[in-house]
Amino acid sequence: MGRLVEHPILNVKVSGAAEHMVFYFEDQPIFALPSDTIASALIASGIDIFGFTEHEHARGFFCAIGKCSSCLVEVDGVPNVRACITPVREGISVRRQIGRGKPKW
Amino acid sequence: MSDVNGTYDVCIIGGGITGTALAYSLCKLGETSVAVFEKSYLSSGSTGRCGGGIRQQWSTKNNVRLAMRSVKLFENFEEDVGMDIEYYQGGYLMLSYDEEEAEQFEKNVEIQREEGLDVEILTPKQVSERYPYINTQDLIVATFCQTDGHANPHKAVIGYAQAAKRMGADIYTHTEVLGVDVENGKVVGIQTTRGYFKCNVVVNASGPWSRQVAELAGVELPTESYRHQIFVTEPLENFFPMMAISFAGNFYMRQAHHGQFIMGQGDKDEKPGINYNVTFKFEKELAEKMVGIFPFLKNLRIMRHWSGMYNMSPDAQPIIGQSDKVKGYFYAVGYSGHGFMVAPAVSEALSELIVFGKTLHTDVSYLNVDRFSNEDVEKEKNVV
Amino acid sequence: MVNEGPTEKKHVKALVIGAGPAGLCGAIAIAESIGDGKQILVVDEGIVPGGQLPKQTHKFFGHEGFYASVRGFEIGEKLVSKATDLGVQFSMQTTVAGIYEDSIVTYDRNNNSVDEYTADYLLIATGASERFLVFRNNTLPGVYGAGAVQTLMNQYKVMPGESFLIVGAGNIGLIVAYQLLQAGANVKAIVEASSKIGGYMVHANKIMRLGVPIMLNHTIVSALGEERVQGAIVARVDEHFKPIPGTEKEFVVDTICLAVGLQPSVELVAQTGAEIKYISELGGYVPIRDENMKTTADNVYIAGDLSGIEEASTAMIEGYIAGYNIAQKITGQDLSEKISTMKDELIEFRKGPFASKVREGLKKMNILFPSGGYRERTQQSTGPNGKLRAVIECPQAIPCNPCETSCPTGAINVGKNINSIPYVDYDKCIGCGVCVMKCPGLAIFLLQEKEDYSIVGIPYEFLPIPENGTIVKLFDKDGRYVADGQIDKVSVNRKEKTHLVFLRVPKGMENIVRHFDLAINSEEYVCRCEEVSRQDVEKVIDSGITDYEEIRRILRIGMGPCGGKTCRNVVLQIIAEKTKIPISESKLGAFRPPVIPLPIDAIVKSRKGVDKDE
Ligand SMILES: Cc1cc2nc3c(=O)[nH]c(=O)nc-3n(C[C@H](O)[C@H](O)[C@H](O)COP(=O)(O)OP(=O)(O)OC[C@H]3O[C@@H](n4cnc5c(N)ncnc54)[C@H](O)[C@@H]3O)c2cc1C
Ligand SMILES: Cc1cc2nc3c(=O)[nH]c(=O)nc-3n(C[C@H](O)[C@H](O)[C@H](O)COP(=O)(O)OP(=O)(O)OC[C@H]3O[C@@H](n4cnc5c(N)ncnc54)[C@H](O)[C@@H]3O)c2cc1C
Ligand code: SF4
Ligand code: SF4
């Protein structure tokens, strides 16, 4: 797990460190690139367990295009956010979703 | 018709909650020569598309009684019928945003309490204390009855159908009834896509198609079907136990067993006719309205949106009874959007009418089609 | 709150749903014919337009007219710029949420906004979605769809794991395996339940010579691991595809990639009221349509994988057919000539054996396509000894011909029907190697027999690019090590990135060697505790020390915390390979206690207990 550093076909040059962003996953700071989704940034950092089901089974991402609901996380307290298609934003707090997600009001 | 495929005492047209509950009730009374004919699959009509709400807070004494009897039957469903239908008595919270209606609510509660129903009247402040996730702005009054609730309509139909089969009834799915054979003013059989069946009694339990199915026997029923839409969100943890409903606000909503929120509203501009399409206008209007009242909904996504038909009668109450023109022709139709909740009691009453010629538990004579010959029909006000 | 106030409906002449090759070509055809791209809106939920294309780093088959031998992501870029130049409007990261009775509703997830559209014509080209597979623990993190792996790896440039098991040996599974290897991952195996490889042989050959086994008649029965994948169990299947008990094998992998097929995404077409039918040959439920790609709903057209799982090339052609038909209706002009040119293209593409399912499927809609008319035999001759020349190992009739069109001397013949198997005219071939670098199947090699050795020219798409003179390991077409060799020279192809590496191989091996490995780069750790690599072990064995215990003492293998659990067998395996003495005959070595590291404080505590008792 991690970012590609070289590739025979693709250009994988990482843009300058100035463009890095930081967000939080379970209170741990995670670095991300502006092009990242929450899922790609987490997986690039070696994190692939995004939550647990009601029955305590671990879940990660699966389809990567927002069609399944495997990768649901809580972002700033809001549950059911699809990590695989949600762009990272500076400073957001992401948590593992457990079960169906708590309502926020 | 020469080829006779079978002979039954009672042939029921329609495999929704009415048809299957009736088959079950008849069998319970020992009348097991019963067949249900469903043109598609079981619960493919309104039942499988409905909100599943079950309430007793009605505006007339008779309706309250009928609903209370139904709730009794729902309470015993698992034991009697043998299936867990996710029945849950989380209550109905009726919200009023209209002065006149609020007054009516208080009158209704009087009637309901007279019938022995435990109903609370709540001020907006009480509502927001009890349900901090409801925005009570513009709310005038609310009533709450804990023994109201909801169940899973699919499972209810399957439960009834299986129990009826176990007792000897036959269920023909994907079998459409094409004609009703009447001789000398009396029902003698039906034509179906699976051939001819002889019978003494035919029951029209065909929901949205009630008028057309009545015409098959030359019977006239004053019903029209109107589309009603409904949608469901992605799930949250269960925290919203009751059905919330408002007539003036024109909405209802509940949280289903698996955490999703199911909600709907009526549309005065609907034209009569079968139409299963959905409109985005509905989503827009309802979503906007509901987020105002239930702000937590704003973080949810709509998962599925579908529509079903309300089979409406002129006074928004069911039409139940026997045709006086064609002997052996019974009907339970025109539920006007609340047939799921009353079907158990209606079917019980209808089975008694068929077997004994009179009802034993609940009087449904006030729902006979005759009532429309009167000048002033009193409309049930408590409908969305 | 989502969208303040009532949304206003926007109107477009043509709305194209899906910016894959089908949708893009449809939009191009309409824009080009009506001369005003602004009237056409393409909506797609992806990050960039192109559908499957931006995720594909390999070169596509087909012919030049439809970008054969161009890498998928570059085809996407070309089509998009063509459409943009014509003025076509795009709305990306936007999903068509539904076709309602009153409007077409889109959701833009970036702006979290909903829009409503009405359109005179709809071209739906929503492609296909992946099928799922049921096995134990299949929801563990680390079990991913092939599309997800590709999205992450080729679009976000993030690797989801290090060692992979791939399920499914259709084209997608084969291609993903190759792409993973290119990105530096380890692919342990591909399992395939049926008894033959479903994808093209040229794709399969590419990965088999890299040493990835394709296990036919096998399926996955379970993912292993508590909270994420740590391994997989595969088993042989019987003729009903049921796993045979007792045939289970375990693989240590951290990612399982499912590539078990696609199904057309028909939801939106169904909402238009168009008729849908189950035709298994086309991939499942598909919309009924005529040969002009019109569905049974008014003004609703389809194209691409949605109308039947097939290929990018046919998706493009169908897109054009649909587009020209729509343009014809919008403008009233007669485009029948363009339409029939495209229909002829389709006929040529669909004549081959791989199109037989599509032909069968379309027959069920009364759309007939002829078959046959192409060469099916492979060329027997590999040309005159001693001459530098091309040999083609492209054994199946597939719709592809860049070898023919790229050869500057006209030495390669495919012929009128592009499904024909290519032949080399050895009088004309000058061994220039252009075809080697063009062939999307990497199926062409150069050969030349010399006095002391032979030359084999191999297409190469990996890193690093080797230096002349380097000693390398040589592998055969199944990835078996056959001998050592040397890099003779490298023709670097910076633009298209398929390089041509000339190897010196032992004489007589020119028809055997099909891959090489730079020994220095393949750090395969035998012992992970002490970080001892395979090369280290082999060097010691080469120096004449072949006893396990001796090797152990020299390299400290098995002296780490694992106590030799992971490495002992591997070392024995290497000894066996190198010395040709079977494992059963070599000395096993001692098993010293403790077999797990024992904590000292635990030992101390227990000592005290003993004391007390005394
Ligand atoms: C959106 C929506 C929400 C609703 N919410 C509620 C609620 O919360 N609570 C509540 O109590 N009620 C609710 N209702 C109303 C409720 O769904 C109906 O009143 C009830 O389901 C009627 O049941 P039924 O068995 O009479 O009819 P149906 O369920 O419609 O069954 C009739 C069956 O007859 C079959 N049929 C018709 N013609 C023929 C023929 N010729 N031959 C053979 N078969 C035939 C049909 O296929 C159909 O399956 C709602 C309805 C809708 C549309
Ligand atoms: C791994 C792999 C390798 C392949 N290799 C080759 C090859 O070498 N040669 C070849 O010819 N073919 C190849 N193909 C097949 C080829 O990619 C497809 O046949 C082709 O992309 C189909 O084109 P399309 O336009 O129909 O669909 P797609 O390319 O799948 O595009 C559909 C688009 O619709 C969008 N969409 C879907 N639903 C919605 C919605 N509701 N709202 C908005 N947008 C939506 C999607 O986001 C997507 O961008 C390969 C496919 C795969 C997966
Ligand atoms: S090596 Fe050159 S001349 Fe020979 S077939 Fe290939 S392209 Fe043609
Ligand atoms: S040899 Fe020719 S036909 Fe075969 S894959 Fe290569 S380019 Fe295509």
pLDDT in tens, C502-516: 999 999 999 999 999
Please report whether residue B66 resides in a domain: no
Please report whether residue B299 resides in a domain: yes
Is C544 or B206 the better-scoring residue by pLDDT?
Answer: B206
Which range marks the domain in which residue B235 is found?
A: 88-148+228-308
The residue length of chain C stands at 614
Q: How far is B297 from chain A (nearest CA, A)?
A: 8
**Closest atom, ligand 1, to C-alpha of B17:** 25
Q: Residue type at C171?
A: N
pLDDT reported for residue B225: 97
CB contact under 8 Å between B280 and C2, yes or no, is: no
Same domain, B247 and B366: no
- Per-residue pLDDT for A5 more than 80? yes
Q: Whose CA is nearest to atom 35 of ligand 2?
A: C18
Question: Cα of C387 to ligand 4 centre, how many Å?
Answer: 22
The predicted-structure confidence for C212-270, as pLDDT tens digits, reads as follows: 999 999 999 999 988 899 999 999 999 999 999 999 988 889 999 999 999 999 999 99
Subunits touching A (CB < 8 Å, at least 3 pairs)? Answer: B, C
- Per-residue pLDDT for B255 more than 90? yes
Q: Which residue has 């009516």 as its token pair?
A: B104
Torsion of Cα atoms, A78 then A82 then A85 then A87, to 10°: 30
Could you count the other beta carbons within 10 Å of the beta carbon of residue C277? 14
Q: Which homologous superfamily is C132-260 in? A: FAD/NAD(P)-binding domain (3.50.50.60)
DSSP letters spanning C518-549:
-GGG---EEETTTTEEHHHHHHHHHTT---HH
Regarding the beta carbon of C151 and ligand 2, being less than 6 Å apart is answered no
Same domain, B303 and B159: no
pLDDT reported for residue B264: 96
Segments making up each domain of chain A, as ranges:
19-98
Rounded to two decimals, the ipTM of the complex is 0.91
pLDDT, averaged in runs of 10, over chain C (614 residues): 56 97 98 94 94 94 92 96 97 92 89 90 95 88 94 94 96 97 95 96 96 95 90 93 91 94 92 93 95 97 97 96 98 96 96 96 96 93 95 96 96 94 97 96 97 96 92 92 93 94 95 84 55 77 76 68 61 77 64 54 50 40
Regarding the beta carbon of C403 and ligand 4, being less than 6 Å apart is answered yes
Regarding the beta carbon of C444 and ligand 4, being less than 6 Å apart is answered yes
The predicted-structure confidence for B13-36, as pLDDT tens digits, reads as follows: 999 999 999 999 999 999 999 999
Same domain, B215 and B271: no
Which residues of chain C does A59 touch, with a Cβ-Cβ cutoff of 8 Å? Answer: 139, 141
Closest CA relative to residue C362, chosen from C290, C285, C416:
C290
CB contact under 8 Å between B281 and C1, yes or no, is: no
The predicted-structure confidence for B71-92, as pLDDT tens digits, reads as follows: 999 999 999 999 999 999 999 9
Q: Which pLDDT band, with edges at 50, 70 and 90, does B217 fall under?
A: very high
H/E stretch holding C249 reads strand C249-251
How confident is the prediction for chain B on average, in pLDDT?
Answer: 94
Q: Do domains C132-260 and C523-614 have the same CATH topology?
A: no
Q: How far is A78 from chain B (nearest CA, A)?
A: 7
Q: Choose, out of B134, B234, B294, B304, the residue to mutate when testing the contact with A (most A CBs < 10 Å).
A: B234
Taking one residue from B and the other from C, the number of pairs with CB-CB distance under 8 angstroms is 25
**Pair B111, B59: CB distance under 8 Å:** yes
Q: Which pLDDT band, with edges at 50, 70 and 90, does A68 fall under?
A: confident
CB under 6 Å to ligand 3: residues? C 390, 407, 409, 411-412, 424, 429-435
Is any Cβ of chain B less than 8 angstroms from the Cβ of A101? yes
Alpha helices (runs of H) in chain B, residue ranges in sequence order: 17-28, 61-75, 77-81, 99-114, 124-130, 153-166, 210-215, 280-293, 339-356
Question: Cα of C401 to ligand 4 centre, how many Å?
Answer: 6
Q: Which two tokens stand for residue C237?
A: 């299947």
Please report whether residue B60 resides in a domain: no
The predicted-structure confidence for B345-364, as pLDDT tens digits, reads as follows: 999 999 999 999 999 999 99
Q: Which residue has 């048809």 as its token pair?
A: B19
> Could you say which of B308, B327, B346 is where a domain stops?
B308
Q: How far is B38 from chain C (nearest CA, A)?
A: 23
CATH number of A19-98: 3.10.20.440
Which residues of chain C does B283 touch, with a Cβ-Cβ cutoff of 8 Å? Answer: 100, 105
**Closest atom, ligand 3, to C-alpha of C446:** 1
**Pair C189, C214: CB distance under 8 Å:** yes
Same domain, B96 and B25: no
d(C-alpha C155, C-alpha C146), whole Å: 13
pLDDT reported for residue C526: 66
**Pair C140, C175: CB distance under 8 Å:** no
pLDDT reported for residue C44: 96
Is any Cβ of chain A less than 8 angstroms from the Cβ of C156? yes
**Pair B206, B330: CB distance under 8 Å:** no
Residue of A nearest to C58 (CA): A9
Pick the CATH number of C523-614 from 2.30.110.10, 1.10.10.1100, 1.10.1740.10, 3.40.228.10: 1.10.10.1100
State the burial class of residue A19 (Cβ atoms within 10 Å of its Cβ: 0-12, 13-18, 19+): exposed
Range list of β-strands (E), C252-290: 255-258, 262-264, 276-279, 284-287
**Pair B280, B343: CB distance under 8 Å:** no
> Could you say which of B308, B329, B350 is where a domain stops?
B308
Question: Cα of C407 to ligand 3 centre, how many Å?
Answer: 5
Q: Give the domain CATH number at B43.
A: 3.50.50.60
Residue C353: φ, ψ to 5° = -65, -30
Same domain, B290 and B322: no
Please report whether residue B288 resides in a domain: yes
pLDDT reported for residue C110: 81
- The minimal CB distance from C101 to the residues B278, B284, B287 is found for B278
Segments making up each domain of chain C, as ranges:
10-128+264-363, 132-260, 389-521, 523-614
Is any Cβ of chain A less than 8 angstroms from the Cβ of B234? yes
pLDDT reported for residue C612: 42
Taking one residue from A and the other from C, the number of pairs with CB-CB distance under 8 angstroms is 105
Q: How far is B109 from chain C (nearest CA, A)?
A: 37
Is any Cβ of chain A less than 8 angstroms from the Cβ of C142? yes
Same domain, B208 and B335: yes
CB contact under 8 Å between B279 and C116, yes or no, is: no
Is any Cβ of chain A less than 8 angstroms from the Cβ of B292? no
Q: Give the fold, CATH level 3, of C10-128+264-363.
A: FAD/NAD(P)-binding domain (3.50.50)
Can you name the residues that pair with C235 across neighbouring β-strands? Answer: C219
Q: Choose, out of A6, A15, A65, A69, the residue to mutate when testing the contact with C (most C CBs < 10 Å).
A: A65
The lowest-confidence range among A17-26, A41-50, B81-90, C311-320 is: A17-26
CB contact under 8 Å between C116 and B280, yes or no, is: yes
Q: Which pLDDT band, with edges at 50, 70 and 90, does B313 fall under?
A: very high
- Per-residue pLDDT for B219 more than 90? yes
Domains identified in chain B, total number: 2
Same domain, B246 and B113: yes
Q: What is the largest CA-CA distance in chain B?
A: 70
**Pair C445, C393: CB distance under 8 Å:** yes
Across A30-49, average pLDDT: 92
Is any Cβ of chain B less than 8 angstroms from the Cβ of C8? no
Subunits touching C (CB < 8 Å, at least 3 pairs)? Answer: A, B
CB contact under 8 Å between B299 and A99, yes or no, is: no
C609 Cβ neighbours under 8 A, 6+ residues apart: none
pLDDT reported for residue C112: 81
pLDDT reported for residue B267: 93
Is any Cβ of chain A less than 8 angstroms from the Cβ of B306? no
Please report whether residue B141 resides in a domain: yes
The percent of residues above 70 in pLDDT, for chain B, comes to 99
pLDDT reported for residue B33: 98
Question: Cα of C400 to ligand 4 centre, how many Å?
Answer: 6
pLDDT reported for residue C4: 41
Is any Cβ of chain A less than 8 angstroms from the Cβ of C77? no
**Reported pTM:** 0.83
Which residues of chain A does B295 touch, with a Cβ-Cβ cutoff of 8 Å? Answer: 105
Q: Which pLDDT band, with edges at 50, 70 and 90, does B377 fall under?
A: low
d(C-alpha C315, C-alpha C303), whole Å: 6
B contact set with C (CB within 8 A): 275, 277-281, 283-284, 287, 291, 298, 305
